[in-house]
Amino acid sequence: MTDPVDLVYAWCDDTDEKWREKRLAVAERHGVAASRVENGAFRFRGGDMLRYSVRSAAKHAPWIRTVFVLMDDDQTVPDWPELKNGNVRVVRHSEIMPPECLPTFCADVFEHHLARIPGLAPRFLYANDDTLFWDAVAPSFFFAADGYPVFRFGMRRKNNASDVEQTYRSGQDVSDRLLRARFGMRPGPRSMIGRLPHHNVDAYLRDDMLACYECFRAEIEPMLRYPFRNHDIAHRVLYAGYALAVGHGHFRRATFNTNYASAWWRRLLPRWADSLQVVSGRWREAPELFARFRPKLVCFNDGPDTTDDDFTWLRAWLEKRFPVA
């Protein structure tokens, strides 16, 4: 595949005083200022992770054409060399979202508008700043020979999620219900319905994302006016499901890992992982896990139990892995 591929990051940093005051004021108006789950500070920490993720993309996916960094209109752009490269562009929420959806502090809201980024390539990747390209990847890792995206899913979702995960999984349930109703999609060995996505860098077709939004516009738009996470907003897995339903995507049982205590991946052999997710509080296990499973993509999940010392350790470790700005 020789078509250009772009990379989109969603980013914020709660150390930006102006942006933080804006968030807290909106949260207070909506009665969620004290909610750890919907508005916990851990959801908005930057921790310099974006710098290392951009470095990892430059090192391991140099075929990416343009990197777009999506952020709130009032978020200050960091004075980093990584963002001053000519291939990196900052995009503000107001450039892609209608005024009635702003401001928003919820990824599940602005992710419905990613395909509206001006100048975005027909094929693009979407990442959070806590995901990194850990080894060399080709476009074929994300897009099949026919040009359609590969969508990776793992185990079945269960109802025993922690409080921190509840809104994340509820959003996936909302998307499943929409796909069942519109396309008759059902659970199965080759179905994404009821499965957890691999929670890492995802691939999309811009035009299919726009078509999916139009397909579900009546259902989606009423969901997008609440500025924080809640149980009623469709997760972006909706777009993967739409692509699979219309034959514009490929389902894959992912060889992805998490280090949750009961994770199914413990049955896997070493050196067999598309991606690996390291949960909050256990980041320092990453060197041993990455050496065992050699993942292509990794994710460091922040959480309420992540400490400043954890970030200090992680930055030092990533600086050694990706020293080139």
Q: What is the pLDDT of residue 80?
A: 95
Report the pLDDT value the prediction gives residue 220, as an integer from 0 to 100. Answer: 97
Q: What is the pLDDT of residue 37?
A: 67
Give the pLDDT band (50/70/90) at residue 263: very low
**Residues 212-235: pLDDT tens digits?**
999 999 999 999 999 998 889 999
Question: In the prediction, which pLDDT does 292 show?
Answer: 85
Task: Give 42's pLDDT tier (boundaries 50, 70, 90).
Answer: confident
Q: Closest Cα to residue 229, out of 32, 73, 9, 28?
A: 32
Beta-sheet strands, E only, within 5-163: 5-10, 67-71, 88-92, 123-128, 131-133, 150-156
269 or 23, higher pLDDT: 23
Q: What is the pLDDT of residue 276?
A: 87
Model-level pTM? 0.93
Query: Does residue 159 have a pLDDT over 70?
Result: no
Is the model more confident about 288 or about 268?
288
At residue 277, the pLDDT reads 87
256-258: strand order across its sheet: 131-133, 297-300, 275-278, 256-258
% pLDDT > 70, the chain? 90
Q: Give the start-to-end residue ranges of the domains of the chain.
A: 5-255
Question: Pick the residue with more confidence: 39 or 129?
Answer: 129
- Dig out the tokens for 264 from the structure: 């199914």
Confidence grade of residue 183 (pLDDT, cut at 50, 70, 90): very high
Retrieve residue 284's tokens.
């320092």
Query: What confidence tier does 256 reach under pLDDT thresholds 50, 70, 90?
Result: low
CATH ID of 5-255, from 1.10.540, 3.40.50, 2.70.70, 3.90.550: 3.90.550
Axis-axis angle for helices 49-60, 308-321 (nearest 10): 20
Query: How much of the chain exceeds pLDDT 90, in percent?
Result: 71
Alpha-carbon torsion 218, 98, 12, 61, what sign? positive
Identify the pLDDT of residue 164.
58
C-alpha span between 298 and 201 (Å, rounded)? 9
Mean pLDDT of the chain: 90
Residue 145 has pLDDT above 90, yes or no: yes
pLDDT at 266: 44
